Structure 1
Amino acid sequence: MENFTWNSDTVQVEGLKVTQVSVYPVFFFFLLSYILIISANIGILVVIFIDKNLHQPMYLLFCNMPINDIIGSTNIMPRLLSDILRPPSERLISYYECVLQAFTSHMFGTAAYTILMIMAFDRYVAICNPLRYAAIMTNNIVAMLTMSAWGTAFVLVGILLGLTIRLNRCRTVITNPYCDNPSIFKLSCESVFINNIYGLTFTVVLLTASIGSIVLTYGKITAVCVTSKSKSLNSKALKTCSTHLMSYMIMFFCGMLIVILHRFPQLSDYRKLSAILFHVIPGSLNPVIYGVQSKEIRTFLSKLIQPRKVS
């Protein structure tokens, strides 16, 4: 279905190439993954909301992560599940719905990095300036950090998609399991030089800023831990920083895999799968990582699980 109609209001999503034998196993795998992501992340949010001991800047900033994971998975998974059960010719979506899905998808990926950056700042203040932590990390600062993380992502992605929707379209097939910016501007027969330049600049700036913030904050945290003789401080730094760093590395490698596979058209099937896993793996692992590492969350959950003693 490669109709050369100009600015068609409907486009076809190529989706995953799934054989008849593997349709239902693949469907149930992604369905269970989606249920796990939603239930685990909502569970973490409920725990933080209920337990007043968790009403601390670290956990309030962390709340942005499960919210982002819920948005990211809900943006693609329900439609992906329905498309798996449909023949390719019926995987149709309106162009403007496709743009909205692409915007939300890139918001998810960008916000994941900006949220991890503000969390790195919180860890830096907590470990390097523990006596001033309460004075620095006030509710207003937490709110400002949260708005800056989402606001920065919104502006960057808004420009990214704005440059794409200005293009006329002469194709109608999205060569991806869901709509994203590269697959949308590939619908155009016009020059996409500006789109490629901004997309490359966007990626470089985001990765440089995120890696730079991680290196800077963790370098100072490491220096404090090396010079400090406090075992409790070093233990706290190791637990909180290892959790944060693990989440960052998972997101970084999942994102870089997509960027690398985009350069190899012959590996399009692997690129499609990696694009879906980018929304599945971090959202599935983040609640587990933070739930296991956080003593406060473990304590709250243990109280719920342990049966009450009968007097």
Structure 2
Amino acid sequence: MTNSTTSFHPSAMMLGFGEMTSIKYLYCALAIVWYVMIILCNSAVIAIVILYKTLQKPMYIFISTLCLNGLYGSFAFYPNLFINLLQDVQTISYVGCIVQDFAINTYVCCEMTILAVMGLDRYVSICNPLRYNTIMSLTTVYKLIATVWMYPFILITIHIILTIRLPLCDSVILKIYCDNWSVVRLSCVDTTVNNIYGIFIIVSTLVTMPLLVFISYVEILRVCARSSKDFRSKALQTCAPHLISIMNFLVDTLFEVTLYRFTPTNLPYALRIFTSVNFLVVPPLLNPLIYGFKIPEIRTKIFKIVCQVTFPLKWPLSGS
């Protein structure tokens, strides 16, 4: 470890795998199985939306965008995890660390932005059904998707620029992956600007976006309260997967952000690792599962594809 009075830009960062290396082959095997499941499940939902024209509607396009982001976030985390688990020394190059930092942060921001846009879509669909096709046209949908990706990338690019200017006094990261706060806390100089901008990102993504979803659902509940039982049932059925997704991701991310900004070393090692990776492990698999099995239109098409593969002569492919 370098003396804390000496500033430098390290060529490599030491990751905090710690006790995981004692049974690294087991962890590696479990991670590979989990990653393969993430790839298959998310790819299946995306393929279904692309293959069937009847699913090329705003809600399903947003769902496929959410699944695409899950693949993106998983790719930023798992390959480097496999490499380090199979090595004797768990390190990552400084450049690789910054790239992973950028990818994971954009994944988080994109996830919350997509979920906020999906909340807006549900609001328009339930509260303004007669104007839904006009408001949520395909042109509007594509503009929203472009915003969903551009906004986080611009936001995090500034964040990374502020980080790479910092000289560091150490090269040991407490987590098994690189994130911005883990790098910033190693700096030898004042990081007030980084901290202020970091708080701005937290407020703009983990506070503002859920607040927009909350406002949307307050209006949805008001409409449902004045509607028939069948309408309420159908509305809640389409909203349930979205609520599960946003609550799971928000709780995981806020807990991880809060924990590692205050007391990262005061908890048992296993619990620290679990809480730090939960938002990277659970949502990418949970999202395609709840949308794939909860929404009848997607579930039916997935089963149809499975039957086509199993009994090709009895289930001709149809784009409808």
Q: Same fold (TM over 0.5)?
A: yes
Matches within 5 A, 1:81-160: 81-87=82-88, 90-160=89-159
Moved over 6 A (4+): none
- CA 1:309–1:202: 2 relative to 1, 3 Å: closer
Shift in CA distance, 144/268, structure 1 to aligned 2, threshold 3 Å: farther
Structure 2: give runs of 5+ residues left out of the alignment. 316-320
Which residue number in structure 1 is paired with residue 266 of structure 2? 266
Structural RMSD (CA): 1.8
Instruction: Give the whole-Å Cα distance in 2 for the aligned partners of 1:123 and 1:167.
Output: 43
* Distance apart, 1:82 and its partner CA: 1.7
- 1:33 alignment partner in structure 2: 34
Q: Which residue of 2 aligns with 1:72?
A: 73
Q: For residue 305 of structure 1, what is the aligned residue in structure 2?
A: 306
Counterpart position of 2:9: 7
User: Conserved in 2, the CA contact under 8 Å of 1:8 and 1:172?
Assistant: yes
TM-score (norm 2): 0.90
Partner of 2:211: 212
Give the corresponding residue for 1:173. Answer: 172
Q: Deviations over 1:270-304 (max 9, x none)?
A: 33332222111001111110011111112212323
> Counterpart in 1 of 2:281?
280
The alpha-carbon distance between structure 1 residues 146 and 106, as it changes in their structure 2 partners (threshold 3 A), is same
Amino acid at match of 1:66: C
Matches within 5 A, 1:175-214: 175-214=174-213
Query: C-alpha distance in 2, partners of 1:128/1:82?
Result: 49
Where does the alignment leave 5 or more consecutive residues of structure 1 unmatched?
Answer: none
Q: Distance in 1 between matches of 2:207 and 2:258?
A: 17
Distance (Å, rounded) in 1 between the aligned partners of 2:138 and 2:161: 34
Which secondary structure does the structure 2 equivalent of 1:8 belong to?
A: coil
Which amino acid in structure 1 is aligned with residue 232 of structure 2? N
**Maintained 8 Å contact 1:83/1:91:** yes
| Partners of 1:107 and 1:160 in 2: CA distance | 10
Aligned-pair distance for 1:13?
A: 2.1
The CA deviation string for residues 172-194 of structure 1, in whole angstroms up to 9 with x for no partner, is 22221011101111231111122
Does the CA contact (< 8 Å) of 1:254 and 1:277 recur in 2?
yes
Cα offset, 1:11, TM superposition: 2.3
Deviations 1:137-164 (A, max 9, x none): 1111001111111122112212222211
What is the alpha-carbon distance in structure 2 between the residues aligned to residue 16 and residue 253 of structure 1?
26
Between the aligned residues of both structures, percent identity stands at 35
> Is contact 1:53-1:296 (8 Å) kept?
no
Aligned equivalents of 2:159, 2:7: Cα separation in 1: 24
Distance 2:241 2:105 in 1: 24
Q: Could you tell me how far 1:232 is from its partner in structure 2? A: 3.6
1: CA distance between counterparts of 2:254 and 2:299?
A: 32
